[in-house]
Amino acid sequence: AQSVAQPEDQVNVAEGNPLTVKCTYSVSGNPYLFWYVQYPNRGLQFLLKYITGDNLVKGSYGFEAEFNKSQTSFHLKKPSALVSDSALYFCAVRVGSSNTGKLIFGQGTTLQVKP
């Protein structure tokens, strides 16, 4: 079965420290992977995606993610966390054919950045 998992419900990090939010996936074929962020009382916002090419993908707000095929992982990273990065983060993987674009989402990880 195709799935995506975020093993941590919450990640706590101090401002200025590097952060990592973990994501693993299980799909048939080539994975197309996404990260989204959700601030309180808002819709999800697209951060970045991996389709093909370089394993290190750069996205919005200084975030990046590393695709690791052997470990079936797509961890979200940022070198220096900001308090304003505190939010709910979702990893997603495309399933089905490319002309429909259906995604399945992980359960989300709450990132708490403390001053």
Partner 1 sequence: DAGVIQSPRHEVTEMGQEVTLRCKPISGHNSLFWYRQTMMRGLELLIYFNNNVPIDDSGMPEDRFSAKMPNASFSTLKIQPSEPRDSAVYFCASSFSGTSGLTYEQYFGPGTRLTVT
Q: Footprint of partner 1 on this chain (CB under 8 A)?
A: 32, 34, 36, 42-46, 49, 51, 90, 94, 96, 98-105, 107-108
Q: How far is the CB of 51 from partner 1 (least distance, A)?
A: 6
Query: Residue 42 or 69: which CB sits closer to partner 1?
Result: 42
Is 57 in contact with 65 (CB distance < 8 Å)? Answer: yes
Type and span of the H or E element at 38:
strand 33-38
Query: Residue 13 or 92: which CB sits closer to partner 1?
Result: 92
Query: Residue 59 or 113: which CB sits closer to partner 1?
Result: 59
